[in-house]
């Protein structure tokens, strides 16, 4: 395929809506969504499409955008998820390590977990990953919830989060926009 691959890994706790966000980004059902945690185990890799990122007509540059939906590494109580058997954990980290960008999904109803705060720092400083922080389920939050959560996240991980809802699609076009702008920078 013409153009290099640009792979974005979606990380977050169980039930934060990682698979739902993946589906919203694709505008169709590409990854299984469930009310019970631990549905996605092995990474689910899906090809989104080809983007032209080059500025010149003479030498057009393309990337093949790929998203990888991952199993929740930790539960909402900061415990390692029971689905993360050694083999699944190895595969999950292989995908994160190999990704060009990470979407860190925070469950708006739960908030930023310590386990993910640590992982976020590890990915940012040791793995040098560009990270987009997304607070999902914003349809369940009122303005003051949003303000408090945003301030907390900014203070803890020094990263400006964007609010999305995989249910109402609020913030999904903005999320795609941030990714495309990053690619075209
Ligand atoms: N209200 C609301 N519910 C959501 C949203 N995104 C996901 N959910 C629900 O949260 C649950 C877990 O979603 P899922 O995508 O399977 O989470 P994952 O485990 O992180 O992949 C399901 O019951 C979804 O319907 C959202 O933006 N708003
Ligand atoms: Mg899932």
Nearest ligand to the CA atom of 13: 1
- By most ligand atoms within 8 Å of CB, the mutation choice from 20, 76, 167, 171 for ligand 1 is 20
Residue 129 Cβ inside 6 Å of ligand 1? The answer reads no
In the reported structure, the alpha carbon of residue 151 is separated from the centroid of ligand 2 by a whole-number distance in angstroms of: 27
Residue 1: per-residue pLDDT: 56
Query: Running along the chain, 185 residues long, what does each successive block of 10 average in pLDDT?
Result: 89 96 92 84 94 81 95 94 94 97 98 98 97 98 98 97 98 97 92
The CATH code of the domain that includes 85 is 3.40.50.300
Which residue's CA lies nearest to atom 13 of ligand 1? 17
Residue 79: per-residue pLDDT: 94
Alpha-carbon gap, residue 111 to 117, rounded angstroms: 11
| Overall pTM surpassing 0.85 (yes/no) | yes
Alpha-carbon gap, residue 116 to 157, rounded angstroms: 10
Give the atom of ligand 1 at the shortest distance from the alpha carbon of 16. 20
Residue 30: per-residue pLDDT: 83
In the reported structure, the alpha carbon of residue 51 is separated from the centroid of ligand 1 by a whole-number distance in angstroms of: 28
Residue 37: per-residue pLDDT: 80
Burial class from Cβ neighbours inside 10 Å (0-12, 13-18, 19+) for residue 87 reads: exposed
Q: Which residue has the tokens 């914003």?
A: 138
**Per the structure, how many domains does the chain have?**
1
* Domain that residue 152 falls in: 4-184
């Amino acid at each position: 395929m013409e153009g290099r691959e640009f792979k974005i890994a979606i990380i977050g706790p169980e039930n934060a809506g990682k698979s739902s966000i993946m589906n919203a980004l694709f505008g169709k059902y590409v990854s299984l969504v469930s009310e019970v945690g631990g549905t996605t185990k092995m990474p689910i890799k899906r090809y989104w499409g080809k983007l032209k990122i080059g500025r010149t007509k003479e030498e057009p540059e393309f990337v093949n955008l790929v998203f990888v939906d991952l199993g929740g590494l930790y539960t909402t109580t900061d415990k390692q998820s029971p689905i993360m058997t050694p083999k699944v954990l190895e595969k999950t980290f292989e995908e994160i390590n190999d990704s060009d960008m990470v979407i860190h999904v925070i469950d708006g109803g739960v908030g930023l977990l310590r386990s993910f705060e640590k992982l976020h720092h590890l990915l940012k400083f040791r793995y040098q990953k560009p990270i987009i922080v997304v607070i999902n389920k914003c349809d369940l939050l009122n303005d003051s919830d949003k303000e408090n959560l945003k301030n907390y996240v900014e203070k803890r991980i020094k990263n400006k989060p964007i609010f999305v809802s995989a249910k109402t699609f609020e913030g999904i076009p903005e999320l795609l926009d941030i990714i495309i702008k990053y690619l075209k920078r």
